[in-house]
Chains A and B, each alone.
Chain A
């Protein structure tokens, strides 16, 4: 069965510091991979996605993610975090058949001045 693991429940970083949020998945083939961000009381907004091709993908708000097949990972990165990046971040996986998306449990990001 497909699964998504976000090992970090909560991360705190200083404003201006770099950020990496981890995501690992379990799936027999190459899945379609996504990162979403959720601000308090809001829905989930797509940050970026990987379907194929270049394994380093760029997203909105200065985020990027790298697909590493050998590690079954799709970690999200940002070189310099802004206070407005404080939110909940979700990694998601979709298989290449069907319409079901599988989400991780989320990582809550706190940004301190």
Chain B
């Protein structure tokens, strides 16, 4: 499935760095998502963007900042991260509305040192 593309696939950053993860979907969808997947933990929804709503998980620290300039692109801006933020970050998209399906990218592996 190459409908959702994430870059970079791997990122190593120091705690004082500022970096961004990029996601692009080629499926004509109008909802996009960021999920965090840590070892031994459930998938954690971080943010949802759609025409109808923007949803934020209130437990996500402010050092993660999403940006959705249009329905095809989604960014996750990272600054002053902590080692516990090391995880696989998954971008996904869906058609929006009821009865739709969510499709995932390959993920971006983030290591904070």
Residues of B within 8 A of A97 (CB): 98
Residues of A within 8 A of B101 (CB): 34, 46, 49
Residues B103 and A99 in contact, CB atoms below 8 Å apart: no
Is B94 engaged at the interface, CB distance under 8 Å to the other chain?
yes
Residues of A within 8 A of B96 (CB): 99
Is A105 engaged at the interface, CB distance under 8 Å to the other chain?
yes
Residues B43 and A103 in contact, CB atoms below 8 Å apart: yes
Chain A binder among B47-55, B64-72, B73-81: B47-55
Residues B104 and A44 in contact, CB atoms below 8 Å apart: yes
Given that A43-B90, A103-B42 are contacting pairs, would A96 and B102 also be in contact in the complex, using a CB cutoff of 8 Å? no
Closest to B48 in A: A99
Q: Classify chain B's interface size.
A: 20 to 34
Residues A90 and B106 in contact, CB atoms below 8 Å apart: no
Residues B107 and A96 in contact, CB atoms below 8 Å apart: no
Given that A44-B90, A45-B1 are contacting pairs, would A100 and B45 also be in contact in the complex, using a CB cutoff of 8 Å? yes
Is A41 engaged at the interface, CB distance under 8 Å to the other chain?
yes
Is A98 engaged at the interface, CB distance under 8 Å to the other chain?
yes
In the complex, A101 Cα to B88 Cα: how many Å? 18
Closest to B45 in A: A100
A23 nearest CB across to chain B (Å):
13
Given that A99-B94, A100-B48, A101-B102 are contacting pairs, would A41 and B31 also be in contact in the complex, using a CB cutoff of 8 Å? no
Closest to A44 in B: B104
Closest to B90 in A: A43
Given that A99-B53, A99-B96, A100-B55 are contacting pairs, would A43 and B45 also be in contact in the complex, using a CB cutoff of 8 Å? no
Mark B residues whose CB is within 8 Å of A: 1, 4, 6, 31, 33, 41-43, 45, 48, 50, 52-53, 55, 88, 90, 92, 94, 96-107, 109
Question: Mind listing 13 A-B residue pairs with CB under 8 Å?
Answer: A32-B99, A41-B109, A42-B106, A43-B1, A43-B106, A44-B104, A49-B101, A92-B102, A99-B31, A99-B50, A99-B55, A99-B96, A99-B100
